[in-house]
Each structure stands twice: as structure tokens, then as C-alpha cells.
Structure 1
């Protein structure tokens, strides 16, 4: 069993492998869903001397305990649910709830309200069904601001939404007309 610090460190390495630079490590991901065999991921992890003793159970621990639920294991395969920067994965379009949330920071607020939500180096805009995940994402850089997105209006304006799993939705850029500052209750 990994200690908390090792778990966080392995999670960051898995993020690098499954979301950002798999080719740097010789890891081949399925172009459709971004998955690979657990055994292939384990082999790549073992190639890094720091991680030579990692087991499939350790990887499962990281997946299970990831607060943002970044990873999913399906049978013998593992993938990052969202956040890929190495290749655009295909997701099935879906019908989101009427309102989704986006966490950001105070310094980005005026640009978002003027220009809308953009992927900003990612493939999609990340939204969540609940405030918990939006708060986690938005609190990383500065004072947290929560926005609500009127998905009914966004769909009417041509935005496509994709369900990534575990309350996370991905979208093409969202126009400012669909975004509102969420007032604290």
C-alpha cells in the first residue's frame, strides 16, 4: 500500500503518461478512448527506477483514491477520463443537465465573461455537475470563482457536450451568453 505522498506522486506520473506525453515513454494509447492495457502502463512505470516496485494494486489505489476521479479502469484497460493534451479523443455527444459548473479564479473572470469559456491548452472546456469538482479545479490558481453554465441555451447556440464520467462534462467553447457568476448562498 502506498503512503499518501507516494500516491500523489504516482498519480502525477500516471497523469503525465495517460494525459499528456505517452509517446515520450513509448506508451501507445488507443486513439478512440485513450486507454491502454494495465500491464503496458505497469511496464512503463517500472522503467522509471523510482517506480520499480509498483504493483497493479498500487495503480488501483491511485485510481480509487483520486479525488477528481481522473482515471478509469475497465477490465484489463486503464485510461484518463479527461484532460488529454496529446491527442483529441472522441467522446459520444450527450445531453447534460440544465446547469453545469466551472471553477476558475478571480483573475480570469473578466475575460471569461467577455469571451466565454475556452479550452485554454486543453482539448475541451471542463465542466461538472456539482460544485465539488468545480471547486477543486478552480481553487488551484488564486481566489476561487464559481460559474454556472446554462447548457440548454448553449446547446441552442450550437455547443456540443460530452460526458466524460463521474460528473465531468466536456464541451466545445462556451459563449459568454451562457455563463453566469454563481452567487454564494
Structure 2
């Protein structure tokens, strides 16, 4: 079992490879789902002196213990669920719950409520079914604000939602009229 600090470092490095710069490491991802063979990822990781003794079970542990569930293993393949900054990965269109949540900060919230949610430097806007992931995402940026997204009205207006797995939903953008402040940071922190 990996120590927590080692697991965190490995998770960040895997994120860098799978989400941001696979080509820098000579890794080719499947253009449809963004996956690669676990064996290929392991080979790339082992080139690094720090990770030369890594085993498949270590990668599986990182995937299983990642609080934000950033990765997914399917058979002998692994992929980042979301957050890619390279080629756009496709996800299945799906009907979301009536409300989805987005965690942000007190500085960004007024602009979002005026202009809507946009992917910025990401491929999609990230949303969650529950407050847990929204809180995790919003807390890392400062004073937490949780936004509620009315998915019924948004869908009726043409917004398409994609399911990325593990309570994570994506959209190309969400207009401001479908976003509202859910609760303040103190209430969300107590969830």
C-alpha cells in the first residue's frame, strides 16, 4: 500500500500524463475515449527513476483511492474521466438529475451568474450530482460558492449534458439564466 503522500504525487503525475500532455511522454490515447493500455502507462511511469519499481497494483490503488475519482479502469485500459486539455474526449449524452451543482469561489460567482458557465481552459464545464464533488472543486479556489443548475430548463433550451461517470456531468456551456447560488460556504462545508 502506498503512503498517502506518495499516492498523491503519483496521482498528480498520472493526471499530467493522461489529462494534459500524453504526447510529451510518447503516449497515444484512444481518440474516442481518451484511454490507453495500463501496461503502456506503467512503462512510461517506470522510466522515471522515482517510479521505477511501480506495479500495476499501485496504479489500481491510486485509481481506487482518488477522492475525486479522476481515473477509470476498464479491463486492461485506463483513462482520465475528465479535465483533458489535449484532444477532446467524447462522453455519452444523457439525461441528468433535475439539479446539478458547480463549485466556484466568491470572486468568480458574480461573473458566472452574469455570463454563465464556460469551460475556460477546459473542454467542458464540470458539474456534479451532489455537493461533495462541487465542494471539493470550489474549495481549492478560495471562498466557496455552490451554484445550482436547473437542468430541466437548460435542456429545454438546448444545453446538452454528458455523463462522465461517478456523479460527474459535463456540458459545453451553461447560460447564466440556469445558474443560481445554492448556499453559502459555511452550509456547504457542513455537508
8 Å CA contact 2:102, 2:148 repeated in 1: yes
Q: How many residues align?
A: 185
Using the TM superposition, give the Cα deviation of residue 183 of structure 1 relative to its aligned residue in structure 2, in angstroms: 2.6
Instruction: Report the counterpart of residue 85 of structure 1 in structure 2.
Output: 85
Instruction: Report the counterpart of residue 63 of structure 1 in structure 2.
Output: 63
CA distance in 2, matches of 1:20, 1:110: 29
Which blocks of at least 5 consecutive residues in structure 1 are unaligned? none
Please report the TM-score for the alignment, with normalisation by the length of structure 2.
0.95
Matched, 1:97 2:97: yes
CA distance in 1, matches of 2:120, 2:139: 16
8 Å CA contact 2:145, 2:183 repeated in 1: no
CA distance in 2, matches of 1:90, 1:40: 22
CA distance in 2, matches of 1:62, 1:142: 26
Using the TM superposition, give the Cα deviation of residue 49 of structure 1 relative to its aligned residue in structure 2, in angstroms: 1.3
Give secondary structure in 2 for the equivalent of 1:43.
helix
Instruction: Report the counterpart of residue 50 of structure 2 in structure 1.
Output: 50
Instruction: Report the counterpart of residue 154 of structure 2 in structure 1.
Output: 154
Matched, 1:22 2:12: no
CA distance in 2, matches of 1:183, 1:92: 30
Deviations 1:86-126 (A, max 9, x none): 11011111100010000000000110000000101000000
CA distance in 2, matches of 1:179, 1:19: 27
Moved segments of 4+, more than 4 Å: none
Instruction: Report the counterpart of residue 179 of structure 2 in structure 1.
Output: 179
Using the TM superposition, give the Cα deviation of residue 175 of structure 1 relative to its aligned residue in structure 2, in angstroms: 0.3
Instruction: Report the counterpart of residue 119 of structure 2 in structure 1.
Output: 119
Instruction: Report the counterpart of residue 13 of structure 1 in structure 2.
Output: 13
Which blocks of at least 5 consecutive residues in structure 2 are unaligned? none
Give secondary structure in 2 for the equivalent of 1:7.
helix
Give secondary structure in 2 for the equivalent of 1:2.
coil
CA distance in 2, matches of 1:183, 1:14: 34
CA distance in 2, matches of 1:177, 1:89: 27
